[in-house]
Amino acid sequence: MTTLAAPAKRRLATSVWGVVAWVAGIIFVFPVIWMVLTSFKQEQDAASNPPTWVFTPTLDQYAAVFDRNITPFLLNSLMASVFSTLFVIVLATPAAYALSLRPVAKWTDVLFFFISTKMMPAVAALLPVYLLVKNLGMLDNVWTMVILYTSMNLPLAVWMMRSFLLEVPREVLEAGEVDGAGLLTSIRKIILPIVSPGLAATALICFIFAWNEFFLAVNLTATNAGTSPIFLVGFISSEGLFLARLCAAATLLSLPVLIAGWLAQNKLVRGLSMGAVK
Amino acid sequence: MAPVKGGAKERWVRRAPLLPALIFAIVVTQVPFLVTIYLSTLDWNALRPGDRPFVGVDNYVTVLTDTRLRSALLNTVLLTAGAVIFSMILGLALAVLLDRKFVGRSVVRTLLITPFLVMPIAAALLWKHAIYNPAYGLINGLFGGSTDWISSYPKAAVITTLVWQWTPFMMLILLAGLQSQSEEVLEAARVDGANAWQIFVRMTLPHLRQYLELGALLGSIYLVNTFDAVFSITQGGPGSATTNLPYEIYLTTFRKFEYGEASAAGVIVVILTIIVATFALRVISSLFRMEESR
């Protein structure tokens, strides 16, 4: 009797905890669901008390967002994020190689130097960067943001790529060398196939951070190079009811990162912990 | 994996792939900081024309004796510690839940990481207008009342938003920690008659220690820099109730144009960060050694 009861009890416990986990998940995601729901409402439904649950969905707010000229901001964000990610990968991958598979002398010191630049608060470098950029006439310029985002994400990418490169089995690499494979051949045939999922995850995480960045963007850009977060902030000064439109804009601008993050979620923790946690 | 000793040429061949990234990082991150140190010794207000005399450590004295700065420092500690501690506790609870098998576990994990992926400034505006708003916010809409959450509980309002965003981060790190536990050891403890709570307290928590430390320190490094939430939810107010150091330095730089003082405050923030970061590096390098010895 007891031998039968124990698994049954365990199954019950499993399903109870499963329900608890589901409830927790729904509570956590609820503000996001509410944001998306609100974005399909008319303004008076969005600002009702008690909240409106049943309504006829409308795309009016999304149309209004595009009417307010969101496109240049989206393009700026896209440019800043894509180019900085590209530069980060180009700089970080060889560096990670020189810190893992064929390590230079003092490679630990170099690794810790990279991570320490990540720990420096942006606010401490803001003023000199601002003055320099201003003197170079590069204020409100997308390429300024590309350079800054590259440096912001570089340490993360070096650490992440290093941790992925370490997964390349040394024996296979050495066997390839014995067989006379040159560096390019071993990169193409051995290293790339193994690290490409890691490379993709690194790129996605760099993209996420660049896309979401606000502090540097709000201080160094204005009308020409303003990125998506700047568009959102500009929204608030408008008069009257704006909640539904704000939610539409917020949903639209969060979407690329939500998709990138969902795709990269298996590697997310590793990237965020700089490769310290697998 | 000791680096192979070779000739000078061999060493430079090895270094070559590293140099572009290293030089770039030094130029873009270290040079501005040296300039910040230099600027911090000048009496320079951008609104005042004329010379910028060298004043030594005067700006530091001003900054350290200024009550606004001190309250900003205190607020930074409160906001950071509050957000880290609460997101850690919630993250641990959620990680324990997700460590079990149940129907739709991967869907729930996706739901739980979603807050972390929402653009921080969008999240801050969402909470401010759609959730905290006294007239049509979700809290008052669901539970009644007309509390103005942001002006009544400014710090809690900012912290709640940060906790909502950062709990997934803590959860992911702690979940990785939980899943790296040896299943055989846990099973052996179960066979020996240990109950779930005993296993959790005696085995899981000690095993998680490094992961808890890592989460706390990485979380602190990111959250010390909190700007978006303060900027958009409270503008540092009411008064200076939620003005943290990044926001205060932003105000000093771009509202008061006190470049010298802002630089001195920046240097102080870096020194404080270095103190926290030293601990962080120690934790990371211990994980690092674990990985090496594997």
Contact B172 A268 (CB under 8 A): yes
A209 interfaces chain B, CB cutoff of 8 Å: no
In A, which residues are within 8 Å of B218 by CB distance? Answer: 272-274
At A44, the pLDDT band (50, 70, 90 cuts) reads confident
Q: What's residue B3's pLDDT?
A: 52
The region of weakest confidence among A126-130, A134-138, A236-240, B255-259 is A236-240
What is the pLDDT at residue B291? 56
Whole-angstrom CA distances from B250 to A233, B120, B235, B263 are 16, 18, 11, 11
**B185-215: pLDDT as tens digits:** 888 888 888 888 888 888 888 888 888 888 8
Is the pLDDT assigned to residue B5 strictly greater than 50? yes
Q: What is the band of A185 on the pLDDT scale with cuts at 50, 70, 90?
A: confident
Average pLDDT over residues A30-43: 92
Q: Does A29 touch chain B (CB under 8 A)?
A: yes
Cross-chain CB nearest to A127 (options B20, B25, B263) = B263
Average pLDDT, chain A: 86
Positive or negative torsion for Cα A147, A149, A155, A158: negative
Across the interface, whether the CB atoms of B249 and A123 are under 8 A apart is answered yes
Asked whether the beta carbons of residue A49 and residue B110 sit closer than 8 angstroms, the reply is no
For residues B90-112, give the mean pLDDT: 92
Residues A207/A268, Cβ–Cβ less than 8 Å:
no
How far apart, in whole angstroms, are the C-alpha atoms of residue A270 and residue B266? 30
Question: Which is nearest to A112 in space by CA: B170, B274, B177?
Answer: B274
- Token reading at A272: 């965020």
> Which position has the higher pLDDT, A266 or B172?
B172
Q: Please name the residue ranges forming H helices in A40-141.
A: 43-46, 60-67, 71-98, 107-119, 122-135
* Contact present, B148 and B128 (Cβ < 8 Å): no
Among A29, A48, A235, the residue with its CB nearest the CB of B114 is: A29
Q: What is the ipTM of this complex?
A: 0.87
Q: What is the DSSP string of chain B?
A: -PPPP--HHHHHHHHTTTHHHHHHHIIIIIHHHHHHHHHTTB--BTTS-S---B-TTHHHHHHHH-HHHHHHHHHHHHHHHHHHHHHHHHHHHHHHHHTS--TTHHHHHHHHHHHHHS-HHHHHHIIIIIIS-TTT-HHHHHH-----HHHHSHHHHHHHHHHHHHHHHHHHHHHHHHHTS-HHHHHHHHHTT--HHHHIIIIIHHHHHHHHHHHHHHHHHHHHT--HHIIIIITT-STTTT--HHHHHHHHHHTS-BHHHHHHHHHHHHHHHHHHHHHHHHHHHHHHHHHHH-
Task: Give the per-residue pLDDT at A115.
Answer: 82
Query: Residue A29: what pLDDT?
Result: 95
Q: Which of residues B224 and B289 earns the better pLDDT score?
A: B224
Is the per-residue pLDDT at A148 higher than 90?
yes
A150 close to B (CB below 8 A): yes
Q: Which residues contact B30 (CB under 8 A, 6 or more apart)?
A: A117
Segment B94-119 mean pLDDT: 92
A263 touches chain B (CB under 8 A): no
- Residue A107's pLDDT band, with cuts at 50, 70 and 90, is confident
The burial class, CB within 10 Å (0-12 / 13-18 / 19+), for B261 is buried
Higher pLDDT, A21 or A187: A21
Segment B156-176, tens digit of pLDDT: 999 999 999 999 999 999 998
Chain B nearest CA to A9, separation (Å): 14
Residue A7: Cβ within 10 Å count: 9
Q: What share of chain B in percent tops pLDDT 70?
A: 95
Residue B2 has pLDDT above 60, yes or no: no
- A124 to chain B: closest CA residue: B266
User: What is the mean pLDDT of the segment spanning B77-82?
Assistant: 92
The SS3 of residue A144 is helix
Average pLDDT, chain B: 86
Position B238 pLDDT exceeds 90: no
Contact with chain B for residue A151, Cβ under 8 A: yes
- The alpha carbon of residue A183 is apart from the nearest alpha carbon of chain B, in Å, by 12
Residues from chain A that touch B167, judged by Cβ atoms under 8 A, are: 28
Q: How confident is the model at residue A234 (pLDDT cuts 50, 70, 90)?
A: confident
Select from B1, B232, B246 the Cβ nearest to the Cβ of A123: B246
What pLDDT, in 10s, does the model give residues B109-137?
A: 999 999 999 999 999 999 998 999 888 88
Of A211, A229, A247, the CB nearest to B130: A247
Q: Which two tokens stand for residue B264?
A: 């001195």
Identity of the highest mean pLDDT range in A119-128, A147-156, A238-247, B281-290: A147-156
CA B64, CA B76: separation in Å to the nearest integer? Answer: 15
Is the predicted pLDDT of residue B1 greater than 70, yes or no? no
Residue in chain B closest to A259 (alpha carbons) equals: B117
What's the mean pLDDT in A122-150?
90
Closest Cα to residue A273, out of B255, B289, B265, B284? B284
Nearest CA in chain A to B141: A50
- The nearest alpha carbon in chain A to B218 belongs to A273
A99 touches chain B (CB under 8 A): yes
With contact defined as beta carbons under 8 Å apart, do A221 and A230 qualify?
yes
The amino acid at A162: R
> What's the Rg (C-alpha) of chain A?
24
Q: Quote the CA–CA distance of B185 and A116 in Å, as a whole number.
A: 37
Structure tokens at A215: 């502090």
**Contact at CB, B17 and A97, closer than 8 angstroms:** yes
By the 10 Å C-beta count (0-12 exposed, 13-18 middle, 19+ buried), B294 is classed as exposed
Confidence grade of residue B80 (pLDDT, cut at 50, 70, 90): very high
Count interface pairs A-B at CB distance under 8 A. 309
Tell me which residue of B60, B41, B61 sits closest to B52, measured CA to CA.
B41
Cβ atoms of B110 and A265 within 8 Å: the answer is yes
pLDDT at B287: 67
Report whether pLDDT(A28) > 80: yes
- pLDDT value at position A1? 46
Higher pLDDT, B242 or A50: B242
Determine the average pLDDT of the residues in A47-51: 81
Is pLDDT above 60 for B293? Answer: no
